[in-house]
Amino acid sequence: MTMTVGVIGLGPMGGNIARLLLERQFKVTGFDLNPDCMAALDDTGLDAAASVTEVAANADVIITSLPSAGALDAVIDGISEHDRAGQIVIEC
C-alpha cells in the first residue's frame, strides 16, 4: 500500500516538499488558498484538493507549511474534522 501524504500550504517550502515526495513515488494530495501555488504543481501528478478537510480525509501523513500561527490555527480546525488513529501531522 502506498502512503498518502497531504501537503497544506504549497508555497516555496510546501510546494518543494510536495514535488520531492512525488518524485519518490508517494501519492500526494495538496491544498493552498492561493490558486497560483496550486497551478504551479499542475504538471507534477499532485492530487489537487478543494479544501483542507479533503486533504485530511485522504492522507496518512499531513505536512503543513503555513505563513503564520493564525493560519495554522485555522488549518488545525479543518484537520481535526477528519483526524483518525495513526494519522501523523507535521508542521514545517
State pLDDT tens for residues 16-33. Answer: 999 999 999 999 999 999
Check pLDDT > 80 for residue 1. Answer: no
Check pLDDT > 90 for residue 2. Answer: no
- Mark out the alpha helices in 8-90 (DSSP H runs): 12-23, 35-39, 52-58, 69-80
Instruction: Map grid coordinates 478543494 to a residue.
Output: 50
Phi/psi at 67 (nearest 5 deg)?
Answer: -80, -10
Instruction: Map grid coordinates 503564520 to a residue.
Output: 68
Q: What percent of the chain is modeled with pLDDT above 90?
A: 88
Check pLDDT > 90 for residue 46. Answer: yes
* Residue 71's pLDDT band (cuts 50, 70, 90): very high
Q: Which three cell numbers stand for residue 16?
A: 518543494
According to the model, what pLDDT value does residue 41 have?
97
Half-sphere exposure of 7 (CA within 13 A, CB side): 26
Q: Which three cell numbers stand for residue 69?
A: 500561527
What integer is the mean pLDDT of 53-70? 96
- pTM score: 0.94
Task: Fold for 4-91, please state it.
Answer: Rossmann fold (3.40.50)
